[in-house]
Amino acid sequence: MPDDDPTDHYPPASRRTYFAEERTLLAWWRTGIAAAAVALGVGGLVPHLSGLPRTRFLALGAGYGALALFFIIGGAIRAARSHRALAEESYAALPNNVIAAVATYVSALVILTIVALF
């Protein structure tokens, strides 16, 4: 019986595929830089302009800073795994638990930021 599982075999990666992988890494880094800018804004600028207590905004800024580090470091790790998988004519899926954890963390940061503003 023939093997019909499409995840078992992949054709060799072309240069275009490697360039796409590189663009994906840059997107991870770009997201990390944006999160770092949010960390500076929430942790430094918002409390200064709003006159609200600074402590909660410093904590939120640290949370966004941790998110920025995740995207920059995590993107580099993800790129290395993807590159290795492409070289082996395989595929390296992003684990579902990572996706769920990041979605939960970002959701919590957004909710806490809204609560802190009001």
pLDDT tens string 44-79:
999 889 888 889 999 999 999 999 999 999 999 999
Tokens 């999160």, residue located: 35
Mean predicted lDDT score pLDDT of the chain: 88
What pTM was computed for the model? 0.81
Under 8 Å between Cβ of 116 and 52: yes
Q: Is 94 left (phi over 0), alpha (psi -120 to 50) or beta?
A: beta
Q: How far apart are the first and last CA of the chain?
A: 63
The CA distance from 62 to 39, in Å, is: 7
Question: Given this model, what pLDDT does residue 22 score?
Answer: 86
pLDDT(18) > 90: no
Helices 15-40 and 54-87, packing angle to 10 deg:
170
Question: Given this model, what pLDDT does residue 16 score?
Answer: 79
Under 8 Å between Cβ of 7 and 18: no
